[in-house]
Structure 1
Amino acid sequence: MGISRDSMHKRRATGGKKKAWRKKRKYELGRQPANTKLSSNKTVRRVRVRGGNVKWRALRLDTGNYSWGSEVVTRKTRILDVVYNASNNELVRTQTLVKSAIVQVDAAPFRQWYLQHYGVDIGRKKKSAAKKEATEGQEGEAAAEETKKSNHVLRKIEKRQQDHKLDSHIEEQFGGGRLLACISSRPGQCGRADGYILEGKELEFYMKKLQKKKGKGSAGAA
C-alpha cells in the first residue's frame, strides 16, 4: 500500500467511509522515519525528492558539530549517549538521534580549545601523591611548552581571563569529560546531527529532568 498523506482514505466526520474516486498521487507519498541510530558505522543515504532535489537520510551517526554559544566556538565532537527526549522515552532506550534530543558529547575538543584560548585546563582531576611522582616528568614537558609562549600571547590570555567566568555546572561536566548538548539539526533530512552545548537556565532545566528520571529509576529498582 505505501504511506499516503492524502485524506481520501480517511473516514468522514460521521464515521462513514469515503469512496476512493481517484488513484494515489506521487506528491501525496509519505516516507518512513529515518530513526537515526547512534553508531560508529556511519551510514547516510541519498534520497531524491520532489523537484529533483536531494535529502540526506542519516541512518547511523556518531559525530556532529556542536557550538558553545557563550564562548562563540564550534567543534566537531563525538556523540557518546542519548540521555533525554521530551517526546518519547523509547527513543532514549533505542539511542535514536532526532531533533531536540538531549545527548552527551565528548568534552575533549572544547577542553583543548579552552586551554589554548584561556590557558586554563578545566576539568582536571586532583592527583594523589603516588600519581604525582609518576607524572612529574610529563608536567616538566608541559611546563617547557608553557614557556614557549611569547609575551604577546601571555598578555592576550591574561586580558581574556580578566572578566571571564565559567558556569559551575559546565565546569562540573568537564570533570566527567561529557557535556550535555541538544541536537538542533534534523538527521533524517540533512544527514547531520549538529547542535549546541546546553547552558544557563536550559541546562538547569534538563539537569533537573535527568535527576528526576534517575530518582524514578532507582525507586523502581528498589
Structure 2
Amino acid sequence: MTQWHGDLHKRKRTGGRKRPYRKKRKYERGGDPVYTRIGERKLRVKRTRGGGIKCALAADIYANVFDPEKKLAQKVKILRLLSNPASRDLERRGVITKGAIIETELGKARVTSRPGQNGVINAVLVK
C-alpha cells in the first residue's frame, strides 16, 4: 500500500481542520519498504525524481565483511540471520536490516549498511 507524505490530512496550528484545496500529487507519494532476505541476488530499481535511480536489495547471499583486526574487507557468503535487534518480527521473517547480526563464513558480523536503501550488504566482524 502506497504511503502519502502530503500534509492535506493534517490539522492547522490552531487545531482547526485543513480543507483540501487540491488532489494528491505524485511527488507526495512514498515507496513501499523492501525487506532484504537471504537468497539469490534480486535488486529492485526505482526511478527517482530527476531521472536518477535507487537500487534496493530484495535478496542476496553475499556480504562485504570487514575484519577490523586485519584491516581487510572480503566478499563472503551469508549462512543465516542470527538476530535483528530492530524488531522481533523482522528477525522471525528473516529480514536483514542495519544492525542485524548475520552468520558468515568468517564468523558473526553486524550489518552496517541499509540494504533496502543502498542495494548492498556491508558488515563488520563481531568477536
Counterpart check, 1:183 vs 2:111: yes
Greater gyration radius: 1
Scaled by the length of structure 1, the TM-score of the pair is: 0.52
Specify which of 171, 180, 194 is matched with residue 122 of structure 2.
Answer: 194
**Within 2, Cα distance between the matches of 1:17 and 1:36?**
39
- TM-aligned CA deviation for residue 23 of structure 1: 2.0
Q: 1:148-163 alignment to 2 at 5 Å?
A: none
Q: 1:199-210 alignment to 2 at 5 Å?
A: 199=127
**Within 2, Cα distance between the matches of 1:11 and 1:72?**
53
1:97 counterpart residue number: 96
**Within 1, Cα distance between the matches of 2:12 and 2:82?**
41
2:5 counterpart residue number: 5
**Within 2, Cα distance between the matches of 1:189 and 1:103?**
18
Q: Percent identity?
A: 32
1:67 counterpart residue number: 66
Q: What amino acid maps onto 2:23 in structure 1?
A: K
Which shows bigger deviation, 185-194 or 7-16? 7-16
Structure 2: gaps of 5 or more residues = none
**Count of matched residue pairs:** 127
Q: What amino acid maps onto 1:98 in structure 2?
A: T
1:22 counterpart residue number: 22
More helix by share: 1
More strand by share: 2
Flag the 1:103–1:15 CA change in 2: closer, same or farther, 3 A.
Answer: farther
Runs of 4 or more consecutive aligned structure 1 residues displaced over 6 Å after TM superposition: none
Flag the 1:77–1:14 CA change in 2: closer, same or farther, 3 A.
Answer: same
Secondary structure of 1:79's match?
Answer: strand
- TM-aligned CA deviation for residue 72 of structure 1: 0.3
Structure 1: gaps of 5 or more residues = 108-178, 200-222
Flag the 1:61–1:14 CA change in 2: closer, same or farther, 3 A.
Answer: farther
- TM-aligned CA deviation for residue 189 of structure 1: 1.6
